[in-house]
Each structure stands twice: as structure tokens, then as C-alpha cells.
Structure 1
Amino acid sequence: MQPSGAKRTVIAAVFTISLIIAGCASTGGVAPQTDGGTNPATLDAGAAIRAADLDAQWPASDWWHAYGDPQLDAWVAAALANSPTLAIAQARVRSAQSLAGVAQADLAPQLKGDLSIERQHWPDNIYYGPGSLANSNTWDNTGALSLSYHLDLWGRDRNAAERALDAAHASAADARAAQLELETNVVRAYIRLSMNYALLDIAESTLDQQRQILALAEHRLKGGLGTQLEVSQADTPIPEYERQVEALQEAIALGQNQLAALAGKGPGAGDAMTRPQLSLAAQASLPSTLPADLLGHRPDVVAARWTVAAQARGIDVAKANFYPNIDLLASLGGFAAAGPLFQFLHASNGGWTAGPAASLPIFDGGRLRAQLGAASAGYDVAVGQYDQTIVNALHQVSDDIVKLRSLSTQTTDAERSVTAARRNYQLATEGYKRGLTDYLNVLTAQSQLLKSQEGVAKIQAEKLAVHAQLVEALGGGLAEPSDGPADADTLPAHGQHGKAAAGTHSASAVAAASVHTAAATAQQ
């Protein structure tokens, strides 16, 4: 007995499902090899961070205002508005957002229209015989609407859209990192400019002092108290001091050019720049939320986390390729040949189609497994880079804190050295005037005074620069807590390593807990 129509349908459906399941390619156990890499909970924040001032207030995103120089504020604003580097970074963000829109569009039904209108001349009856088309002109027109919708049963399109969106987020974080780097570079260049002005003052003062000593030596020689050797000794350093003055003037001009370039302007923009008037009223210390609310919002950390999330979605996309694609297709159109212009629009010339379409991998030579392997390896790389970014962040913050504390002590010592050297120089000069000491004592005292004055200027500039480095290491000020992806979004949706990685991929959160606990202990 022949099976009924219903039974035939069931048999066909079972056979089709069995074929689909059997036809799905095997993943071969390919999966990420990392379980999250270095566990940030094992990272010791170090004594420098634990001993930081827990009650300090950290600046906002416009942190350079702490230096109290309106001219610096204007140059940073000009750089943010005109920098070609930032314009490139922002263009990359727009490009990534557009690509995310392209991937998002695959989730929606696709409707496509086709229209073809052709005028055809048929040859004489050499080929077609004495029929009506011989040596005639006709319209051969078609018009159709095609609708397709991918069911996305395995989440391939959804994960591809999320991967593209994660990449756009990472690009936006990279743009913020470029902005922070530009801000820091402008501040550093401005600090160097300020230091060169201070060194120029010292060099010009030293040159004036040397010329006064030369005049004194010549006066002593005329009075019969000095020698030609003393005059020669006093005159010898003057060309070198003049060279130092010229070199510092050159450095100032080059610094102005550098600031103009950072601001996206021509060199002439720096000509009207006045001498910097820098100070640092804000305390260079750390808030109690370190690093939970700061290191976790560093642009490079945020970008690394979004990259991990994008790679996780890439694994999901690669796994979805092992399963069948099922689409719903429909079309409606009209077709007409050898008729009037609008013949194809007549109902009698129309047709339609509708139904599902499926495609599935059966034998692919290992291509899908290789793609999954590449996606898994890319995920491992992203996790490793994220972990290394956290390690580098803690390293930079600790280094800058150590430098700031050391420079504070060095500033006090250097200022004491200047006071002693100035006193020694005054005594040596006065003794030389009275004929109680020779010129060698004056030369030695002057050299000591010059070095100590230069040391103070360089230490003060270095302290300002390290403060800027610390702000950069902390991410440029407090940010919104929604900067990065959720912990679950940094893990593949499927895979053997999901549970193992869940507790370790959130490096900023775990490292934050470790450091915050240590800081609270130190406070108690």
C-alpha cells in the first residue's frame, strides 16, 4: 500500500532533518586555548599605589587646567579642534560605525527590484523563416521584486552585527586614546618650552655675571693687582655661554613650531606665543577609587576589552557556519517578449515564487575548522593583549607615583643647593674683588651655581611633566562606567572555556578589587 500524502510529508521532513543534522560539519574540538591568561587578582599593586593619598581629588577630563595657564588651555583647545591626527581617528570611527550598519542590515528582510527594458531587432527570415518576427523590432521587458529573509537560527548574522558594533566601540576608544595622547603631547611640549625659558634666564644671567667678572679682571689688571692670565681665564667662558644662550633660543623657537604643528597650524602661529606661566595647584596624588573607576576606563583598556568582545563574537560567527543556512524567499514579476512596451505588466504575463531555501556544509576540506581555529587564536591574542594592557597600566601608574614623590624631595634638595651655591659664589666674588682669593675659586663657585640652578629648573619641569604622564596613565580623568562591554560579552556564547574564562577576563574589575582592598588596608 502506498503511503498517504500526510505520511509522505512526514517521511520527507524526517529525512530532510536527518540529512541536515548529518550534513553539519564537525568542529573537531577547535576552541580557544586561553582560560583568560594572567589572573589580574595575582598582580600586586605595589607599595607606591597602596600608600597613595586616599582622599585626593582627581581632575576632570580637562585636566590641563590644573596648570593654571590660559595660554596652555588655548593651545590644547586648538589642537583638539584642528589636529589632522584626531580628524583621521574620528574618520575611522565613522567608518567602523558604517560597517556596523552594514552588518546590522543583514538582520532585516531584503527586498530587491529588477527592471529590464530592451528594444530588439530580429534578423530577416534567414534564421527564423517567414515568421512574423522576421526583420521586425520588438520589446523584451522584465520586472520583478525579490524578497529574502535569513532566519538566522544559529545567530550568525546577529553575532556578526555585534562583532562589527564592538569593533566600532573599540575604534571610538582608540580615538579617545589618540585625543588623550595629543593632549599630553601638547602639555609636555608646553612644559619643555617653559623649561627652556627658565634655562635661558639662567644662561643669560650667567653670561652677565661672566662679563662682570671679565670687567673686574681687566680693572684689577689696570690697577696692578691682577694678571693677564686672570683676564684670559675670565674671557674664555664667554663664547661658550653665548653659544648656550643661542642654543636655548633655538630650542624655544623649535618648541613654538612643535606646538603649532600639534595644533594643526603653520609655524607662524607660534610666533605670537608669550612665555608660559605654569603652576600646579592640584595635588598629584590618587583618589580612593583607584583603579576601579580609572584604570578600567583608560582608553587603551576599553579598546582592548571591546576587541576581546569582538573576537568572542567572531568565534560565534565561525561556529554558526557549521550549521545550515535557511532563508525564506519570494518573488513577484512580469515577463514579456516580442510584445508592446508595457506587455510585461499584464496579469497574464506575471508569475510568483515563494518558499524556503537551505544550504549546508557537507564536505569542505577542513575550511570551516580552519576558520574557527583562526577565530579562536584571534580571541587568545586579544585576551593576551588585554591582560598585558592591565599590567602596563599598573606599571605606569606606580612608576609615575614613585617619580612624583622622588621629585618632590629632589626639589627641596635642589633649592637648598642653589641657596648654598649662590652664597658660595657671592663670597668667592667678593674675595676676588678684594684680592683675597684667585679667579679659580670664582670659576668653581660659578660652575656650581649654574649647575644647581639648571637642576632646579629641570626638576620643576620634570615634576610637571610626570604629573601629565600620571594623568595619561590613569586615562585622562574619570569616565562614564559604561565605557566597556559587560563581562559576559567578552566570552564566546558557546565553548568549553566559557566558565573558566568568566572569572578572569574582567581584568579591570578583578585588579580593581585587589588594589582597592590593599588601599583600604593601608588606610586602616
Structure 2
Amino acid sequence: MTKFLSILAASLALAGCASLAPTYERPAAPVATQWPVPQATTADAKAADIGWREFFTDPKLQTLIEQALANNRDLRVAVLNVERAQAQYGVQQADRLPTVAAGAGQTATRSPGGTITRQYTATLGVSAWELDLFGRVKSLNDATLQQYLATDDARRSTQISLIAQLAGAYLTLAADQERHRLAEQTLRARQDGLRLTQRLQGAGVASTLDLRQAEIAAETAQTDLAALTSQVAQDRHALALLVGQPLGAGQWPAAGTDTPVTQATELSAGLPSDVLLARPDVLQAERTLQAANANIGAARAAFFPRISLTASAGTASTELDGLFRSGSGLWSFMPQVSLPIFDAGRNQANLKIAQVDRDIAVAQYEKAIQSAFRDVADALAQRATIGQQVESQQRLVAQTQDALRLAEARFRQGLDDRLATLDAQRTLYGAEQGLINARLAQQVNRVTLYKALGGGQGSGQGSRQSAS
């Protein structure tokens, strides 16, 4: 037994060799070093340093995010994928150490003369353990570790996307409810105008054309209201799906886009390199690249001899009570060496596959960086002008309200026909819808920029699992 343990200890010492994987070097980022939209020099808050609880200030939205993090099925699948990847890493890591098993048995043999002999054995042994002299098992272990970490990055990316989607759905529902309220108000105003036109037409003051135009305006508003009623219902369904459970009556957002749901502090874009360090989808792509790099080491090791050890030690006796007596010990040691001589190019092809997989992972990593750069650049470009759009739209609403007031006064005085009033109503309706759209775009832009800059990983998020 002592000799067996000595052999096992020596084998473990030999197995700790370096991998044949190429030295990993992070590819250069194929993007500009500065954002295309100039940024202010004042230091504002960085998105990655702000938890979603601090960024989203609306209490209802905070509650919905908490519920979504607990109940959303896509996020639940992402978490389970992490657990699965962690278990796979545990399986692969176990290959680096020998599997020791104990066994006991009896062999009974009957000779032609009728004599029965028995042999009892008790052994402790290692079966076909690969001595990892060239790092094949280590490379596979490194690749599995990176795949596990990439899966956790994917889980974090799913969580950030979920928070952003939920906030966007929340804001969209609030905006559509405001549009619905505006459509109701517009319908009532046009129905009042229709009744007025009917009275004037009966008195011979308004023409039949004026009546038809007033009827068309009222029916158009009725159609818009029906469409928005359906849209609000669909928005509610979408929000409930993201949350992962039915919502109570008091959990729906109030109609309106004029109240911000996020903090007022402007987010700092920083440098593109900051985004690369903050976004989990970029980290996931790099982990995948590192795993592909490690697989090259395993493919290279296949060209070298593979040494496996099978060893056992124990006792044997023809009598059960003599199994552990002095002099009953036995041991066996059977090293095996497999040297590839001719494999019809299989190992070379596998190495080529591993190298191409690494090149594919490089391209995917670079694409992830480029996509992240574009996400931030687009959000910054919109942020640079969205405030001006909202202000301009507010002035347009005020101007069209005044134009409608003047048109109605001229119509009552008989200076203009009904067409001028209807045109002013339609213009005001469109301007008010445009203001809702602009305010929605402004709020969604803040959420989009927060996500693009790697925010959403703070408070309320489970701690990242670590591999040992």
C-alpha cells in the first residue's frame, strides 16, 4: 500500500505541467478612442457605478423591476444556465485528479473433481487516469472555466436587458395611456363641434360640406380611440410578461410622460474603454475567445503521447477471515502509453478547427465591441438633440392651441368656414401627439444610454458566482 501511495504521489507531481495553448493577447479594439459626439468636460455619474435602484426613481417601476428579477422566465433560464455551466466545470475539473475507487469481490471455482476453491479480494485503485504531461486536460479545464464565466456574463447581460426592456415597456404604456386620454378629449371636442355644426346647418348658416367634414373629424377621432384602447391592452400584456406575473390594480403606471422615472443627473459616457470594461456582453465575447484559445492547447497536445495509469493495491485470501492477515497484500501497476502514428490527418484537422474557432471568436469579440460602441454613440447622438426637440414641440403645441382659438373665434363670427377650425384641430392633435412622442423618446433615451454604458448591475442584483 505504501508503494502504491508513493506511485500515486509521484504521478500527481508529474501531472502539473504547463498547457500548450498559445499565450492569450486581447485583440485591439476596432473602434475610435473617442465618441463621435463631443461630451462635456464636467465629470458626471458613470452608469456602471449606479445601481438600478438609484437610477430608476419611480417607486412603482422599482417594485416591478424587483418582481421581474425574481419571476421573469428568460432571466430564470439564464441563471439556470450558469448553474449548469458551473456543474460542467466541476465535471471537467475532476478529470485533473485521479478517481480512486474501492472494491471487494469473491471468485469461486469448481474443479472437475468437485473441489470448490474461493478467492476473496479487497482493493483500492486508480483506473485509466491520464497523466497530463502535455496539458491536454488542463487546456480543456481552462476552456470550460471560461465557458462557465461567459455564461455568467450572459446572465448579467440578460438582467441588464430585462431592466431596460421593463423600463421601456413601462414608459410606453404610460405614453399610450396619455395618447388614449388625448384621443378621448379630442373625440369629445369633435363631437361638440359636430353638434354645433348640425345646429348651424339646420339654421342655414353652415353648409352640408361643413357637416360632412365635422362628421369625418369625429369618426377619425373615434377610430384613433379604438386603436389606442387596443394598444394600451397590448402594452399591459407586454409589461406583465416581462414582470413574469399578473400585476395588481395599483401597479400600472399613471398616464403621462412629463414626470421623469430616472434620476436627473446626466450620465457620463467616459471613454470607449470604460464601456468595454462595464458591458457583460463584451466580457462574454472575450471569455468565449479565451476558451477557444485554450482549446488550441488541447488540440496541440493530441499530437504528443498520452500516458494513462491504472494501479491498485489490496489483499487477497482463499478464506474470508484471512483477507487482512499478514502476507495477503497485493498490488498492480499498469501504465499505458498511446503514441499517435497515423490518424489520416485527424489531429491536424482538429487543430485547424480549433484555430478557426479562435479566429471566429476574435471576429465575434470585435463585433461585440463595435456593437457596444454604436449603441452608446447612437444614444449620445439622440441625447444631444432630444431636449431641443421636446422644447420645440412644446412651443408648437402652444402655437397650435392659439391658432385653434383664433380659428374658432373667426368661425363664430362668420369670417371663416368650418374647414379652418377643423384644420386647426387636426394640427393641434398632431402636435400634442408629437409632444408625447418626444417626451417618451427623451425618457427612453436615458434608459437606453444607461443600458449601453453598462448600468443596471448594482443594487438588487445577486452576487456573481466565482469558480475555484
Q: TM-score, normalised by structure 1?
A: 0.75
The alpha-carbon distance between structure 1 residues 343 and 379, as it changes in their structure 2 partners (threshold 3 A), is: same
The Cα offsets for residues 497-522 of structure 1, whole Å up to 9 and x where unpaired, read as: xxxxxxxxxxxxxxxxxxxxxxxxxx
- Could you tell me which of 141, 148, 152 is aligned with 2:132? 152
Identify the residue that residue 292 of structure 2 maps to in structure 1.
311
- Give the counterpart letter for 1:40 in structure 2: A
The residue that corresponds to 2:438 in the other structure is: 459
Alpha-carbon distance change, 428 to 240 in structure 1, aligned in 2, over 3 angstroms = same
Amino acid aligned to 1:55 = A
User: How far apart, CA to CA, are the structure 2 residues paired with 1:351 and 1:115?
Assistant: 13
Equivalence for 1:386: 365
Match runs of 1:42-441 below 5 Å: 43=32, 45-48=34-37, 50-52=38-40, 54-59=42-47, 60-63=49-52, 65-117=54-106, 129-133=112-116, 141-147=120-126, 150-266=130-246, 269=248, 273-275=252-254, 278-279=259-260, 282=263, 285-287=266-268, 289-327=270-308, 329-335=310-316, 345=324, 350-354=329-333, 356-441=335-420
Instruction: Determine helix, strand or coil for the equivalent of 1:68.
Output: coil
Cα distance in 1, alignment partners of residues 381 and 32 from structure 2: 18
CA deviation after TM superposition for structure 1 residue 42, in Å: 6.2
Paired residues of 2:35 and 2:272 also in contact (CA < 8 A): no
User: Given residue 299 of structure 1, which amino acid in structure 2 is its aligned partner?
Assistant: P
Alignment counterpart, residue 449 of structure 1, candidates 425, 428, 433: 428
Indicate conservation of the 8 Å contact 1:63/1:471, yes or no. no
- Distance in 2, matches of 1:238 and 1:452, equals 18
SS of match in other structure, 2:45: coil
SS at match of 1:115: strand
Retained in 1: the 8 A contact 2:404–2:425?
yes
Residue 272 (structure 1) shift: 5.5
Report how many residues are paired.
439
Find the residue that maps to 2:268 and give its secondary structure.
coil
Residue matched to 2:3: none
Q: Which has the larger radius of gyration?
A: 1
C-alpha distance in 2, partners of 1:291/1:284? 20
Q: Residues 459 and 64 (structure 1 numbering): CA distance in 2 closer, same or farther, change over 3 Å?
A: farther
- 1:508 alignment counterpart: none
User: Counterparts of 2:300 and 2:406 in 1: how far apart (Å)?
Assistant: 84
**1:284–1:467 Cα contact (<8 Å) kept:** no
Aligned-partner Cα distance in 1 for 2:426–2:255: 27
State the identity %.
28
Equivalent pair of 1:55/1:288 in contact (CA under 8 Å): no
Letter in 2 for 1:198: E
Structure 2 residue aligned with 1:519: none
1:226 offset after TM fit, Å?
Answer: 2.8
Distance 1:239 1:53, change over 3 A: farther
Label 1:385 to 1:318 Cα distance change in 2 as closer, same or farther (>3 A).
Answer: same
Gap regions ≥5 residues in structure 2: 1-19, 459-463
Q: Is the 8 A contact 1:147 1:329 kept in 2?
A: yes
Between the aligned partners of 2:203 and 2:308, the Cα distance in structure 1 is 109
| Cα displacement (A) at 1:401 | 0.9
Cα drift, residue 348 of structure 1: 5.3
Tell me how far 1:199 sits from its aligned partner: 0.8
Cα deviation, residue 456, structure 1: 0.6
Distance 2:457 2:115 in 1: 83
- Cα separation, partners in 2 of 1:189 and 1:405, compared to 1, 3 Å: same
Mapped to 1, the partners of 2:225 and 2:165 lie a distance apart of 25
CA distance in 1, matches of 2:253, 2:375: 33
Conserved 8 A contact 1:191-1:461: yes
Would the aligned equivalents of 1:31 and 1:376 in 2 still touch at CA under 8 Å?
Answer: no
d(CA) in 1 for partners of 2:61, 2:43: 28
Give the Å deviation of 1:53: 5.1
Instruction: Give the drift of 1:143.
Output: 3.0
Conserved? CA contact 1:31–1:373, under 8 Å: no
Q: Distance in 2 between matches of 1:417 and 1:376?
A: 60
Distance in 1 separating the partners of 2:377 and 2:119:
78
1:195–1:457 contact (8 Å) kept in structure 2: yes
Q: Which amino acid aligns with 1:431?
A: R
Cα distance between partner residues in 2 of 1:261 and 1:387: 33
Cα displacement (A) at 1:321: 2.2
> What CA deviation, in whole Å up to 9, does each residue of 1:139-189 have, x standing for no partner?
564432113664422222222222111111000000111111111111111
Whether contact under 8 Å (1:324, 1:359) holds in the other structure is yes
Change (3 A) 1:274 1:408: closer
Partner residue of 1:40 out of 29, 35, 40: 29
Q: Deviation per CA, 1:347-373, whole angstroms, max 9, x where unpaired?
A: 555421246543332222222211111
Q: Which amino acid is 1:56 matched to?
A: D
